[in-house]
Structure 1
Amino acid sequence: MADTISIASWNINSVRARLDIVERFLAEEGPDILCLQETKVVNDTFPAGLFRQYGYNHQMLNGQPMHHGVAIVSRIPIREDDRLDWQANGEARHIGVRLDNGVRLENVYVPAGGEEPDRTINPKFGQKLDFLERMIEWSSALSDKPTILTGDFNIAPLECDVWSHKALINTVSHTPVEIALLARLQASHDWVDLGRHFVPAPERLYTWWSYRARDWSESDRGRRLDHMWVSRSLADKAVSHRVVEPARGWARPSDHVPIITEFAF
């Protein structure tokens, strides 16, 4: 019988500020591996003890003070800690590991890109585009390495990945230039987008709702910014994929919710 491994990804928007909902998620869902983005904590003060209480004894951390930060915590062995500087400025936005079955797991936090979709007046947008170009270069060299790429990509690629394509077409995260770059990234390794593999377009599928909404659920102005992609060779190993949407309504939530994929290797 194949071994089943569940892998979750969650932009937690400060892991120490949201320990209560992290603990609730671990207790209710208990994935084998959890990839976190925007941990906003240096490695020495990461709440490692809480995760160990739930059996996550294997931890790979790439943090920095107050901003960004990524981590992979796991109940099963993870090896070969790798950190790539796709931002080219030292920001902690990637960490990758190898599972004992040989599969690589890459956890990424793509820059949000600021407010204006114009790199001449908004350097953050240019940094985002350059980040994706570096990811494309990396992805193109993967060859036949079986890889899972997950995290907060900060791009909603399809028209049905946002609450209103017409309203958001010039909004950072859904602009044509970002969508085109993400398509190039996907093509560079023939990645399979598991979100839309299991929930085909145009079905509703969101992972993020702004804090600005008075009632996020009622207005439902969501975007699909969080993704789980796999090498083509791993696509048939994915058993299920789901979004833990109720987490957006938990006390003091992140604006992102977890996604979970179950694999049968």
Structure 2
Amino acid sequence: MTSPLRIASWNINSVRARADIVGQFLDEEAPDILCLQETKVVDELFPHELFASRGYDHIIVNGQKMHHGVAIVSKVPMARDNRFDWQANGEARHLGVALPNGVRLENVYIPAGGDIPDRDKNPKFGQKLDFLGRMIDWSGTLEHPTILVGDFNIAPLECDVWSHKALLDVVSHTPIEVETLGRLQAAANWTDLGRTFIKAPERLYTWWSYRAQDWRKSDRGRRLDHMWATPDVAPAAKGHRVHEQCRDWGKPSDHIPLVTEFHF
């Protein structure tokens, strides 16, 4: 008999600044595991009580002052955590754990890449591509069933952005980023769970800029956040949802949470 396991992922853009909406999401949706990106807090200042008071007794963090940072909070035990330096500069952008059933859960915050899609003119863009290159090498060596979640900062499909034509030269949707993400997906034959359950070309966004006065009216969204699974895990996924209502909550992140339910 299978039991459901609901895994959520959310770029929260400062877990302490948005503690109220994190708590609201946990109270309303109660996922078994929440993976956070861009926590923006050193490990010793992470708000453990926010999660422990709601039954998330297992908390593993990889933090950094003011920038980046990832965390996994869980109602189920986690073990053998690792932190890969895919940025090759010590930034806190990855955290991976083993779940009780042997599945690996990897939480990643891929760099945004700056504003100019040219590695010669913009070193940050080159760093992003190199980060993905290291992930490609890692994917080719996987030995365990794995779920990969996080803010990938790439919207790969034409229907993953509000305007393919307008964003072709905008970092996050350029051809080289899409091609590189495609190589990452092919390296372990990853299944894109978002587009498994919400078929292209159906609208599916996870990020809207703060610059829009009315994000719903303009709806200039991009699908930057993803959940992938290796072929030995993907069949266990039974549902996938994005929670757009969270973008309307007080002091919101510019990203929204996504949740996949697995039956193992």
Name the TM-score, length of structure 2 as normaliser.
Answer: 0.99
- Spell out the pairing of 1:77-156 with structure 2 (5 A cutoff): 77-143=77-143, 145-156=144-155
Q: Deviation per CA, 1:30-52: give whole Å up to 9, x if none.
A: 10000000000000000001100
- In the alignment, which residue of structure 2 is the partner of 1:30? 30
- In the alignment, which residue of structure 2 is the partner of 1:40? 40
Shift of 1:233: 1.2
Shift of 1:109: 0.1
1:202 paired with 2:196, answer: no
SS of 2:226 mapped into structure 1: strand
> 2: distance between equivalents of 1:187 and 1:197?
16
Q: Deviation per CA, 1:193-243: give whole Å up to 9, x if none.
A: 000000110000000000000100010000000000000111110010000
- Spell out the pairing of 1:1-265 with structure 2 (5 A cutoff): 1-143=1-143, 145-265=144-264
Q: Deviation per CA, 1:114-142: give whole Å up to 9, x if none.
A: 00001111110000000000000000011
Shift of 1:3: 1.4
Q: Deviation per CA, 1:93-128: give whole Å up to 9, x if none.
A: 000000010000000000000000011111100000
Kindly provide the amino acid, as one letter, of the partner of residue 151 in structure 2: D
SS of 1:261 mapped into structure 2: strand
Q: Which runs of 5+ in 2 are unaligned?
A: none
**How many aligned positions are there?**
264
Kindly provide the amino acid, as one letter, of the partner of residue 130 in structure 2: D
Shift of 1:157: 0.1
> 2: distance between equivalents of 1:83 and 1:192?
23
> 1: distance between equivalents of 2:236 and 2:112?
31
> 2: distance between equivalents of 1:50 and 1:60?
14
Q: Structure 1 residue runs of 4+, over 3 Å off?
A: none
Q: Which runs of 5+ in 1 are unaligned?
A: none
> 1: distance between equivalents of 2:80 and 2:175?
36
> 2: distance between equivalents of 1:235 and 1:121?
39
> 2: distance between equivalents of 1:168 and 1:199?
22
